[in-house]
Amino acid sequence: MNPPLRPFRCLNGDCGFPHGGRCAREAEFADPAASCVELMRGEAPAAPAEIPAPKAEDLLPWSGQHFTTREGLALTRRGKTACIALIGPAGSGKTSLIASLFLQIANGRRPGLPLRFAGSRSLPALDRLIQKAAAWGGSAEQQIVDHTPVSAEPDPGTFLHLSLRPEEDRDAPVLEVLLSDVAGEHFAEWALESNEKTTTRLPFLPLCQEVMVLVDAHALQGEEGGTLDMDTAMVIRRLVQESRSWPRRPHLSLVYTKLDQILPREEIVLDAQLWKRLEDDSWRSVQAMLEARDDGMNAEVTGVAAFPCALAKGQPAGVTELFGAAITRINKQRPWARLELPVPAGGPSFLCVRRERP
Ligand SMILES: Nc1nc2c(ncn2[C@@H]2O[C@H](COP(=O)(O)OP(=O)(O)O)[C@@H](O)[C@H]2O)c(=O)[nH]1
Ligand SMILES: [Mg+2]
């Protein structure tokens, strides 16, 4: 659309042309409006430009809710990222573990995690999560967090995001932490059969430097304990097998959850003795972890009590320690394995800049 015509004005003080009079340089210009360099359009407000409707791909990349893998990938290109996958059957405590971690970071109680909160691009999603968890009264009948829905999308909303900064007062870079929060049902399908459909639904797994396989310690001791152990062992074996073709093999942790349901609170001491006691009920999973080690992976057993009681009555056990250890391991890794290229003696100096290549 053409802009509307605005009135003339002229910088020449003697000119009457803008006011319907005569051009001060009328001898020079037959058509002052077309030729005079002094004459210009006045500054009437410009018509509002037509703003085209945004295309889907131009919209802000962050919705404030869970990240998709594509958004997670975009973040990994911006700086140092810790990608941590929490996997395990529905009800094993994945979402509760993230809620517990976030509540502890927000409260400033972070044993074993020397990093502080520096932001989150999924703050509304995290906020929704902790609203319910913080209101939990401690009863086993009450849900601590909502059940994570099974998504029909090929890439379901996957990650919650946290930016963490070292405690020291120096200008250390922020670490971007991505925590996967996918419904357990997707992993069960994948463990049963790895095909195009089941693997494309978990596209983030090969990106993760850490994989935590969660198993409900209380359920292991129940009637369905044997089946749960068998399912968990199957997930671990699938991970071992699939990760052989990933760019980097992740560190694997078998995490016993809900320890408060099998031990009095004062007896939750996270040590080798406790894992030994739990081994009888989870011998298949432990066996699968040993196979992972034999296959060259770093694999260890640990445990947490993310919500041992209502928030006002006590602290979780092992949560910040679990993530602190994972992040420390990730921090020690270089972003990629570098290859040293030899620089020939007497060669051109510009070759030095190519010495290190990804
Ligand atoms: N007592 C106790 N219950 C827990 C704990 N963590 C989770 N739960 C319970 O287990 C339920 C399922 O946990 P959730 O995090 O939704 O499992 P997810 O399906 O793996 O994400 C929660 O709603 C809680 O009721 C814990 O540390 N202690
Ligand atoms: Mg969940």
91 Cβ closer than 6 Å to some ligand 1 atom? yes
pLDDT at 337: 43
138 Cβ closer than 6 Å to some ligand 1 atom? no
Cα–Cα distance measured from residue 59 to residue 210, given in angstroms and rounded to the nearest whole number: 31
The tens-digit pLDDT sequence of the chain (358 residues) is 565 666 677 777 788 887 778 888 778 777 877 777 777 766 554 555 565 665 554 444 555 677 777 777 777 776 778 999 999 988 899 999 999 999 999 888 888 998 999 889 888 888 888 887 777 777 777 777 777 666 666 555 578 899 998 887 666 778 889 998 887 777 777 877 777 777 776 778 888 899 999 999 999 999 999 999 999 999 999 999 989 988 889 999 999 999 998 888 777 778 888 888 889 999 999 999 999 999 999 999 999 999 888 777 778 889 999 999 999 999 887 654 444 556 677 777 766 665 554 4
pLDDT at 171: 66
Please tell me the distance between residue 230's alpha carbon and the centre of ligand 2 in angstroms. 20
Token match 């929060």: residue? 181
94 Cβ closer than 6 Å to some ligand 1 atom? yes
pLDDT at 294: 96
Q: Going by CA atoms, what residue is nearest to atom 3 of ligand 1?
A: 258
Q: Return left, alpha or beta for 138; rule: phi > 0 is left, psi -120 to 50 is alpha, else beta.
A: left
Instruction: Assess contact for 246 and 306: CB atoms under 8 A.
Output: no
96 Cβ closer than 6 Å to some ligand 1 atom? yes
Cα–Cα distance measured from residue 49 to residue 57, given in angstroms and rounded to the nearest whole number: 22
Instruction: Assess contact for 232 and 217: CB atoms under 8 A.
Output: no
100 Cβ closer than 6 Å to some ligand 1 atom? no
pLDDT at 336: 45
The class of domain 63-332 in CATH terms is alpha beta
Strand order in the sheet with 175-180: 115-119, 159-166, 175-180, 81-87, 210-216, 251-257, 299-303
* In the chain, domain spans: 8-41, 63-332
Atom of ligand 1 nearest to the CA of 144: 23
pLDDT at 345: 75
* DSSP calls for 56-121: GGGS-S--SSPBPHHHHHHHHTTS-EEEEEEE-STTSSHHHHHHHHHHHHHHT--TT--EEEEE-T
pTM: 0.75
305 Cβ closer than 6 Å to some ligand 1 atom? yes
Cα–Cα distance measured from residue 244 to residue 341, given in angstroms and rounded to the nearest whole number: 26
Cα–Cα distance measured from residue 125 to residue 255, given in angstroms and rounded to the nearest whole number: 24
pLDDT at 288: 96
Return all residues near 258 (Cβ < 8 A) that are at least 6 apart.
93, 216, 217, 218, 219, 305, 306
For 232, list phi and psi in degrees, rounded to 5: -65, -40
Please tell me the distance between residue 8's alpha carbon and the centre of ligand 1 in angstroms. 73
Beta strand 115-119 with 159-166: parallel, antiparallel or unpaired? antiparallel
pLDDT at 358: 42
